[in-house]
Each structure stands twice: as structure tokens, then as C-alpha cells.
Amino acid sequence: MTTPFSTLDNQTAIVVHGASPIGRNIALGLVHHGARVASIETPLTTRADYEGWYADVVESLGRPSIVVVPVLPQGDRQPIVGLSLDAWIADCEQPLRDTRNAVQAAFGVLARPHGNGGCIVLVAATAALTGETGLAAYATACEGARAMARVVARGWGAHGITMHWVGAPTALFTNEDDAPRMAMWDPALGRGPDAEHDLASAIAALASPAMAFATGTTTVVDGGLVMPT
């Protein structure tokens, strides 16, 4: 377990996909860092759905300064040669659509002058960086989210919004006990991360005032297995 090194006291955070295991653990971790956390437990379909939900958070907890959006897979691993259009839409296009809606809606509650600025963190699988067997559609969604983070970071900095992409081991998203081994070597730190403590601590650090001058970053939280250049 990582010792907390950043505080989010008096900050409100929204965690999308809070009913998923990784979303639930991130939310718990941000609570450990002192944040008031509103977790979206039910699936939302449109940008308007997210805007309505964010408005409810503002009413009950005050304006958020952090929005965390995990990019989740919808199906199982499948070889791309047999991947149907429906499966591609479910595992690539739908996660990106959900992410886009959540990000677009966040602008209205974070952007200055109406908001106070803040930080959006997209959390996705490291399959985007390494490639993993049977995850062509989902890995594409994760890499698409990384491109989204870089582009949005350029456009929204003037509005007081920073944006980051955090990569974590794919098994935290797919919940596979027998996921194929991705590398011949072990993590440099001897173990993979825990979502509630390690991953949430990385998000808290990126969202802290000390990191307010960084945006558009790619951060990998996997114990030192993948080291992108």
C-alpha cells in the first residue's frame, strides 16, 4: 500500500463508471486523500445525461475540481480476424463515445469564469501502449482517449482546465485472473499497482495544486513494467 503523498481536502471529485471495480476503487482512494467524491453508478447515454448529473453534484457538493473517467471494455478478448462490426462498436466506439460525453460535459462545470478550473483524468489500459492479444478494439479506444487528452489539454488550458491520461495494467479493467502475460520481465518495483491506493494516489497527485502547470501528460502506473518514451 502506498503512503498518501497528496491531499485533496475541500475538493470535490466526480468518478465516472463508479459501479465498475476500478471506478469504485479509485473513488475510495480519492476519499482517502480527503476528497468529497460523487460516483456515477449507473450508465449514462448522452452528453446531456452527464451535464444533468454534474449539475446535481454542484447542487449537493459544490463545484467539482476533478473529473475521473475510466475507459472500460465491454466484451471479452477476440481475435481481430473474427471481430464483428457490433463487437468493434461495443469495445472501441462506445467507450470513446462515453468518454467524449463525460469530457464535454465536464467543461461546463470546470471552465472559468463560471467554474474554478480543475483537472480531468482519463484512466485507460496500458494495452494502448503495448498491444495485447485479442484487444484490438479496446486498445484502440484506450489510445484514442490518450489522443483526446492531448488535444483537449491544448484547447482548454486557457479555461483553467488541465487534462491527463493515466495508464494502468489491463487486468484492472478486464478483471481477468488469467490474463496473458504481457512481458517476459517483471515490474521494476516487484508488483503491479493497487487501484484504491496506488492508482488513486497518482490521480490525486496529478490533480493537486503542485501539478497545476502540467497538462496533456501520459503517466503509466504499473510498477515499472511499461516505460513509454
Q: What is the CATH number of the domain that holds 161?
A: 3.40.50.720
More confident residue, 228 or 45: 45
* pLDDT computed for residue 182 by the predictor: 66
- Per-residue pLDDT tens for 97-126? 999 999 999 999 999 988 889 999 999 999
Q: Establish if 207 belongs to a structural domain.
A: yes
Kindly state the average pLDDT of the residues 33-46. 93
Q: Establish if 56 belongs to a structural domain.
A: yes
Number of domains in the chain: 1
**pTM (two decimals):** 0.93
Q: Establish if 161 belongs to a structural domain.
A: yes
Q: Which domain holds residue 66?
A: 12-220
* pLDDT computed for residue 6 by the predictor: 59
Q: Establish if 117 belongs to a structural domain.
A: yes
Kindly state the average pLDDT of the residues 9-24. 95
Q: Establish if 6 belongs to a structural domain.
A: no
* pLDDT computed for residue 131 by the predictor: 87
Q: Which residues contact 117 (CB under 8 A, 6 or more apart)?
A: 65, 110, 111, 159, 160, 161
Say whether pLDDT at 1 is over 50.
Answer: no
Kindly state the average pLDDT of the residues 116-137. 93
- Per-residue pLDDT tens for 146-159? 999 999 999 999 99
* pLDDT computed for residue 75 by the predictor: 81
Q: Establish if 180 belongs to a structural domain.
A: yes
Under the banding of pLDDT at 50, 70 and 90, the label for residue 76 is: confident
Q: Establish if 183 belongs to a structural domain.
A: yes
Q: Establish if 2 belongs to a structural domain.
A: no
